[in-house]
Amino acid sequence: MNDAGAKVFASQWWAQRWIDVLESFGWTQRLARGRNYARGGNVLSMDFQSAQVVAQVQGTAPMPYDVSLALDRFSDEQWEEVVANLAGEAIFAAKLLAGEMPQHIERAFIASGLSLFPFNKWDIHSECSCPDSANPCKHIAAVYYLMGERFDQDPFVLFALRGRTRTEIIRRLRELRGGRTEIENVPVIPDAFAPLTPAGFWELTGELDSSLVVIAPPPTGETILDILGSPPIEAAEPAVTYLKALYSEVRNRAMTIAMGI
């Protein structure tokens, strides 16, 4: 529901899912007004404080309105079951460790009788200091859209609103999968390297520092077949479909082996 040429609040699937869920609640006119406010820069500030969002939105009054918003938090027992479900599928763990939201992650929540995204409008608890009795008012709706933009940048913010931080989730994933329990800091690059010479360019003179190796899933689900196109043979489609699935499985297994999970 984005106007041509207008500001887009979601480019990643999980951020778009957030917006699609909100727009499915039937708040068409209120969300449209809020979308205009968000695009117009009326949201002056928005902070994520643990499991709550607090914002200031400029309306027609001289002083901005205060907006607060929260989702239902999951209990410790619920989170333990969800993370166990995530740990049970290696690709979920690999993607999360790389800072990406797995495509079918909602399965891990549904298996525990939960929903990562709001299941209905009563899952969202919001307040605004404006005199409008409708909820969401346009100020709250504006914050909804800016939240989608923030989810785009950091999918773990959505988990935090449900009661678990990135650090807590990844540490528990590694514990359940028998991996390391600490999250590495940003690698420190040495101050100086040995002089580079043509003769030694292709030689490894020592052990490769594992802290300098960054392993991440590919940015898209493309395989080599998507790049090369279909082979010039008759009845190629069944073979291509099979090979694409096979290449994807090989890629996913290589990721899990490389990341030690």
Q: Domains in the chain: how many in total?
A: 2
Say yes or no: 150 and 22 in one domain. Answer: yes
pLDDT digits (tens, 9 = 90+) for 233-261: 665 677 777 777 777 777 667 766 665 55
Range of the domain at 234: 211-258
pLDDT at residue 258 in the model: 60
- Report which DSSP code applies to 33: H
In a domain, 26, yes or no: yes
In a domain, 182, yes or no: no
The C-alpha atoms of residue 102 and residue 84 are separated, in whole angstroms, by 15
In a domain, 242, yes or no: yes
In a domain, 71, yes or no: yes
In a domain, 185, yes or no: no
In a domain, 6, yes or no: no
What is the number of other CB atoms lying within 10 angstroms of the CB of residue 45?
10
pLDDT digits (tens, 9 = 90+) for 37-83: 999 999 999 998 878 999 999 999 999 999 999 999 999 999 999 99
Map tokens 């907006």 to a residue: 67
Give the length of the chain: 261
Percent of the chain scored above 70 by pLDDT? 71
pLDDT digits (tens, 9 = 90+) for 192-228: 444 555 666 566 565 554 444 445 555 455 566 665 5
20, 10 Cβ separation under 8 angstroms: no
> Which two tokens mark 80?
């333990």
